[in-house]
Structure 1
Amino acid sequence: MARSQGRAGRVGLCLPWLGLALLPLVVAPGRAAHGGCPTSACYCVATPELEQCRYERLEEPPRGVPPAARNLSISGGDLRVLPRAAFRSLPALRLLRLTRDNLQDIEELALQGLPALRTLDLSHNPLRRVAPGAFAGAPLLRTLQLNQALLRSPPAAPLQEQLALALRNLSLRRLELSGNALPGLPLGLLPAGLEELDLRNNSLRSLAAAELRGLEAPGLRGLRLALASNPWSCDCGLRPFLGWLRGSAGRVADARSLRCAGPGPLRGTALLRLRPDALSCAAAEPGRLETASYVFFGIVLALIGAVFLAVLYLNRGGIKRWLHNLREACRDQMDGDHYRYEPDPDPRSADPSL
């Protein structure tokens, strides 16, 4: 009995260590499935020989990353600032994910020492400042992910200008800006040669004619867009975009999934099934409609006045005779009143003998 209890105690002591030994076997599939940290507070390193994750709430970029690392993912940290040469020298690193790390400032040459970097993910960070040379240390950068990274940066326009300067000398092929509440197409942010732009889940209601012309610029003619989950307003303002979409549906990968968010009768209707004459103008442009009504009313009054003058002109002879007869009748009436004799009502004054 004592021997069996001692054996059970040894097994109980070994179980925690067995769990720690099996932890990498559990973590690795999770990381491989999601392409990053399996939890919200860890960092993972993948090299050709090994793959490891550590659970830490980092406040600065990790040191001691193997030089042979190809993928590095940091999630749930509190980095705030990405300084110059933040990761020292990682010549083989191709993918860097820094998601949900409270990143706010990216300094000059923050990616220095990453010559092979191809993909950078800065999604879900409250970016406020990006230095003009922030990405200069990664000349092969082709994919930049900034999903939900421009929301907490009031005003957003200066940040977009900073990003435009930072991306100017890069050869980006894909840019992701999903979930940033963008009200329009950020043409100033797009580097020449960009091939894919993800604008899903923003605040796009329509694309103006000027924005559509920008898509035909020499450096953006091959750009493909993703525009799903935007609140498209199916009124008169959508007509330029609707015409462009029908002729360039191949440039919008999710064109068939675009739906009207309003007005009510058209809510949920596919944009590609809309006819231009089905677009509601009254709800979208009440001021313009009211002005058009006043103009129409003025035109009608002018036409009535012109018809009246034309009738007077065509009947000028009859009107002249009518006026002449009226004048003669008035003259006869006045002459009759002048010579009318009325007897004196007192008979004594009329008798000469009195």
Structure 2
Amino acid sequence: MELYRFSRVFCGLSLWLVTWLIIGKPNVALGCPRLCVCYPSPMTVSCQSQNFTTVPAGVPFDSQRVFLQNNQITELRVDSFGFETQVLWLYSNNISWIEPGAFSELRELEELDLGDNPNLRQLDGGVFRGLEKLQSLHMHRCGLAILPHDLFHKLYSLQFLYLQENQIHFLPDDLFSDLVNLTHLFLHGNRIRTLSENVLRGLVNLDRLLLHENRIKQIHRKAFRDLGRLTILYLFNNSISELPGQVLRDSASIQFLRLNGNPWSCGCEARALWEWFRKSRVSTSELLCSSPSPKRGSDLRFLREMDFALCPLPDPGSLAGTTTTTFSTKTRWWFSKSKPVSSSKGIFSKSSELVKAFPFSSGKPLNPSTSSTSFSTKYEIGEEEAALPKLDPEEYWANYGNEDASVRCFELECPPGFDSPVLPSSSPSSSSFFLSLYLVIFLLFIN
């Protein structure tokens, strides 16, 4: 009787175990695609290096990690994926096209690696639709040239974005505006030429920005205004000659900065950057000057105050961030009336590399009635100055003394009496009257 009971219990346990293995715990071997290897805990499907041309069928729905790298997969379609995975590796394939929505069923995906697909030269805007839990996206060395403005739309969880070593030459405004949690952005090794005002908008948590080995020439002075938490910035080996001081002031948390390998211009336009270095405490590379000639080879960081003694104060409203003159009323009047002759070009040509000195001589008093030839060899008028408002002598003298107090000439360049008060009675008509009176008295005295 006991033997009978034992056999019934044994049969029941055996049946339960078989049922559990088939239903409760699926056999890994039975659910694994052909030529792939599967591992439990966590459920992993490894199909790399098997010369697959398409995503293999039969990947278990509950696979947490799927490895498809080093194959010959050429395209990804909407029906390519039907499993709940968190990690998907597709790097080193021959992918040339991804259908919009191809990853839309991968709602739990956290890491997607599409790197080393050199034929993936363009992407549609809806490619990553539905990946709202995605944290890491790899697209390095894919031959990408242009990125759609809505490519990263609603990728709110993204933290790491790898776009290095592509052919990207342009970044549209607000490309990263939804990436509020992005901490690492790798854009080095591309062909980017400019950074506009809004190209990095929204990256409020960015910690590392790598832009080295590009062709960047210009950075808008407000381009980094949202990067208050940036600690690492690489801009070396570009074509940057000038960097607005506002760019780095907006990134107050920077700790590591590399700006070497750029043709830095160390004229007046470098003053704002030089002043930033004087106040900052960051680990940085050298900044060797390429121009002007007297400063070539010097390190911009270690220039002296006297190197900028003849420079006007920077214009806070300059969009380019360059050092420009905020012209006073007297200077505006002179520019509007004095037309230097063309022969002055060989003596002083207006350039961003040269000092924009005031058109005065230290040995002669300022006289608004002086002809243009008096200053023709000191300064060549440029388009910026020629466009200034034209002032009549009456308007000049009416505003004398009311010019912007923030713009001053420097001591060595100030003409005698530049800061002396002007009597209210001073006017062109009264000056002419006294001059005529003195002339009459002088003639009478001679006779």
The residue number in structure 2 matching 1:123 is 140
Percent of aligned pairs with the same amino acid: 21
Structure 1 unaligned segments of length 5 or more: list them. 1-23, 25-36, 325-354
Shift of 1:118: 1.7
Distance change >3 Å, CA 303–CA 198, structure 1 → 2 = same
1:286 and 2:351 correspond: yes
Corresponding position of 1:173:
183
Q: 1:143 to 1:65 in 2, by over 3 A?
A: same
- 1:75 alignment partner, SS class: coil
1:118-159: CA deviation from partner (whole Å, max 9, x where unpaired): 222323433334152x3346431112223344545xxx3xx5
* Deviation at residue 98 of structure 1 after TM alignment: 2.6
Would the aligned equivalents of 1:199 and 1:227 in 2 still touch at CA under 8 Å? yes
CA RMSD after TM alignment: 4.9
Q: Distance in 1 between matches of 2:68 and 2:353?
A: 63
Contact 1:236 1:284 in 2 (8 A): no
2:161–2:186 contact (8 Å) kept in structure 1: yes
Alpha-carbon distance in 1 for matches of 2:69, 2:179:
34
> 1:60 offset after TM fit, Å?
0.9
Give the SS at the match of 2:277. Answer: helix
Instruction: Return the TM-score normalized by structure 1.
Output: 0.55
Are 1:242 and 2:366 counterparts?
no
Q: Name 2:341's counterpart in structure 1.
A: none
Contact preservation (8 Å) 1:117, 1:138: yes
Pairs within 5 Å for 1:1-354:
53-56=69-72, 58-61=73-76, 63=80, 67-68=84-85, 70=87, 72-75=89-92, 77-81=94-98, 83-86=100-103, 88-89=105-106, 91-112=108-129, 114-124=131-141, 125-132=143-150, 134-136=151-153, 138-149=155-166, 151=168, 156=170, 159-161=171-173, 164-165=174-175, 167-168=177-178, 170-190=180-200, 191-193=202-204, 194-204=206-216, 211=221, 215=224, 217=225, 219-224=226-231, 225-230=233-238, 231=262, 232-250=264-282, 255-263=284-292, 266-275=295-304, 277-278=306-307, 285-286=350-351, 292=357, 296=361, 302=367, 317=441, 319-322=443-446, 324=447
- CA apart distance, 1:186: 3.6
Tell me which residue corresponds to 1:6.
none
The DSSP-based 3-state class of the residue aligned with 1:127 is: coil
Equivalents in 1 of 2:180, 2:75: separation in Å?
A: 26
Tell me: CA distance 1:272–1:168, structure 2 relative to 1, closer, same or farther (3 Å): same
1:73 offset after TM fit, Å?
A: 4.2
Q: Is the 8 A contact 1:99 1:121 kept in 2?
A: no
8 Å Cα contact 1:144/1:176 also seen in 2:
yes
Change (3 A) 1:240 1:203: farther
What is the TM-score when the length of structure 2 is the normalising length? 0.46
2:146 partner amino acid = R
How far has the Cα of 1:315 moved from its partner? 8.6
- Over 3 Å counting, the alpha-carbon distance change for 1:103 and 1:123 in structure 2 is same
Q: Of the two, which has the highest radius of gyration?
A: 1
Higher helix share: 1
Report the Cα offset of residue 70 of structure 1: 2.4
* Structure 2 unaligned regions, length at least 5: 1-35, 37-47, 55-62, 239-261, 312-346, 371-415, 417-431
Alpha-carbon distance in 1 for matches of 2:95, 2:178: 28
